[in-house]
Chain A
Amino acid sequence: MQISFSRLDDTIARFVLRGATPAFANTLRRTMIGEVPTLAIDDVFIYDNNSALFDEIVAHRLGLVPLRTDLDEYVMRDTCSCGGEGCSGCTAIYTLSVEGPKMVYSSDLIPQDPQAAPVVDNIPLVKLEKEQKVVLEARAVLGKGISHAKWQPTLACGYKEYPIITVDKKCDGCAMCVDECPRGVLEVVKDSVRVVEGKLEDCSLCRLCERICKSEGTWDEPAIHITQDATRFIFVVESDGSLSVKEIVERALREIRSKSESLVDVLSDISGGNGNDEI
C-alpha cells in the first residue's frame, strides 16, 4: 500500500492511496471523521443570560465552536487520572462575560489555556441589545465524532476511485465531449481527444462525455470510456483547524493499528488458553 500527497497544508490535504481495497479506504475515511478525538465544549455553567437566546441555544452554539487541540496535552476524560471529575489534563476552561449592545463572537471566549483557543475569532454566538448580558463558564473535553458531530476534526473528508479515461481509435475529434466536460479534463489534439496533462485526477466520473459521445455520434457505443481503478483512491481531507490534516491522517491510522493490535493480543491469549473462556 502506498500513500502520496499532492497537497498538504495545515487545513487541507489531497493524497492518493494505492494498492488499497475499498474496505480499507472507507475504514480510513470513517476513522478520520469519527474516531480522531478533538476538543469541544461539553459543559456550560450559565451565571447570567438575558439575551434573546435561551440558555440551551447558547450552549449548543458554544459546543460547535472549533477549538485548537493539542492531543499531547489532553486525554479523554474517562481515561484521565482525575477519575472523570475534570482537571487541567482533560478539561479546558473558558469564560465569557459580555454586556450589550454588542455582537458576541468566539473571540470573546477567554481560554484558561491559550493553546486551546477557538480556531477562528469571528464566529457569531449571540447578538446583545442594550442592558442585555451573558456571563458563563464553559468546559471543553476531548471526544470523538462518533458520539457527536461537534467532536469531528474534519469538514469535507471523502475519496473517489481513480479515474481511467480511454479513447478509441474511432474518435473523430468532434470536441463535443470537451465542451460537455464540466472540469475541463479533455482537449482535442490532432483530430482526437486526450486528457489534458495533469488534469486526470480532476475527473469527477460524471460520464457526461460518454453520454454526449453516444447520443451525438453515429455509433452505438461511445468512443470515450470512463472506468475506475478500485485499488487507487483520491482522498480529500479538510480540517476544521482544531488539528492539522497530517495529524488527523496519522491519528486515524494509529487508531486502526491499535484496534488491530489489541484484537491480536486478546485472541492470542485465547488461542494459548481455554478458547471457550469469556473475555
Chain B
Amino acid sequence: MDIKIIELEADKVRISFAGETHTYLNALTNQMLADPSVDVASYDFRYTFVDPTLLVTTKDGTDPVAAIIRGAEAIAADCTDLLAQIEHQ
C-alpha cells in the first residue's frame, strides 16, 4: 500500500493513502473507532480526485500508528475467518 505520513505526533497521525477510496478506509476507520483508546478516526478527500487523508488521534498516550495496525489486523483476521468458512461450505 502506497502511503505518506504527513504529520506524526505522540497522539496524532495524519496519513495520505495513494489510490485508495472509501472502499477500504471506511471499514478501517469504523474498525478503529471500536478501539476505546482511539479518540478520532476519520478520513477525507480534500477534492474529488485527490488521495484521501486519514486522521487518527488517541487517548491515554496510545501510539496512533499502533492503533491503525490493530485496526488493519482485525480486518485481515475477519477476512481470513470468512475465507475459511467459505472453504468449508
Contacts and interface: CB of A to CB of B under 8 A. Distances in A.
Given A31-B23, A254-B83, A261-B76, A267 B30 contact: no
Most buried by B among A23, A276, A278: A23
Interface in A250-279: 250, 253-254, 256-257, 259-264, 266-268, 270-271, 275-279
B81 A1 contact: yes
Given A3-B86, A250-B86, A264-B69, A259 B26 contact: no
Given A24-B27, A256-B75, A267 B68 contact: yes
Nearest to B66: A271
Contacts of B80: 257
Contact of B3 (A26, A30, A279): A279
B75 A260 contact: yes
B71 to A, nearest CB: 8
Contacts of B63: 271
A275 B65 CA distance: 9
A271 B69 CA distance: 10
Nearest to B1: A262
A35 interface: yes
B55 interface: no
A275 B86 contact: no
Interface residues of B, number: 34
Interface of B is mostly: helix
Given A24-B78, A253-B83, A261-B76, A5 B4 contact: no
Contacts of A270: 5, 65
Interface string B19-40: 0011110111111000000000
Contacts of B73: 260, 264
B4 A278 contact: yes
A20 B4 CA distance: 30
Contacts of B69: 263-264, 267-268, 271
Interface of A: 1-5, 8, 17, 20-21, 23-24, 26-27, 30-31, 34-35, 146, 246, 249-250, 253-254, 256-257, 259-264, 266-268, 270-271, 275-279
Contacts of B28: 260, 263
Nearest to B23: A30
A24 B82 CA distance: 12
A92 B82 CA distance: 32
A17 B79 CA distance: 12
Contacts of A5: 89
A229 to B, nearest CB: 17
B52 to A, nearest CB: 13
